Chains A and B, each alone.
Chain A
Amino acid sequence: MTYTQLAITAVALVILFDLFGIKTKLVTRKAYWTSYAIILFFQLISNWWLTSRGILTYDEDVIIGWRIASAPAEDIFFGFAMVTLTMSLWIFWGRRGVQRN
């Protein structure tokens, strides 16, 4: 699979997991989207740093070619899936009573 296909699949799976798997439903909450907006801002700076300096390079054949802050658009999906899954699990464990405070 290309990076584009993997990135879209990951986002879809994480949203389904959040909504119907562990039912944390973060993607329906203002609190979550506010947090995500803050994370996205810092992700763009980090991505720009890593890609514009050539620390990280992508094969042009596996990405769609749209660039955001010098990094492939797919990175936004990768980052979204990774942080959303983490936050969803965090809320899930909190709901189960694991180290609530």
Chain B
Amino acid sequence: MLAFVVFGSFWLEIFLKVGVLRRVRRVVLSILPTAVIFLIWDYYAVISGHWWFDEEQVVGIFGPKGIPLEEFLFFIVVPLASLLTIEAVRSRRPRWQFGDER
């Protein structure tokens, strides 16, 4: 599923030249706070038993409370895909305003 999201969005970087992946500082400043907040939520949900992962269907590397590696990657890959998406929309619809134009 992570591979699906990666392949589904990262081609935008190459073909639409959105230049998200080279803007490392801005990417980190946008994703890190989000990932931290949602990982806290995920951690709370796992310890409270809101949801759980099938240990047979993950690669088998676990963080605290049995949270699989894939779950940590999820909080990086999905937000990154969202940034690629808005920049792709911007590149195809240059007149639409996002609010950070000069």
Contacts and interface: CB of A to CB of B under 8 A. Distances in A.
Contact of B81 (A42, A56, A98): A42
SS class, residues of chain A in contact with chain B: helix
Nearest to A90: B30
Nearest to A30: B96
A40 B58 CA distance: 24
Contacts, number: 129
B26 interface: yes
Interface of B: 1, 4-5, 8-9, 19, 23, 25-27, 29-31, 33-34, 37-38, 41, 45, 48-54, 57-58, 75, 78-79, 81-83, 85-86, 89-90, 93, 96-100, 102
B4 A91 contact: no
Given A58-B50, A82-B79, A98 B25 contact: yes
A77 to B, nearest CB: 12
Interface string A69-101: 000000000110111011101111111001111
B99 A59 contact: no
Interface in A8-30: 10, 24-26, 29-30
19 contacts: A3-B51, A24-B100, A26-B98, A30-B96, A31-B89, A31-B98, A32-B98, A35-B82, A42-B81, A46-B1, A58-B50, A82-B38, A86-B30, A86-B83, A90-B86, A91-B100, A93-B26, A93-B30, A98-B29
A53 B1 CA distance: 11
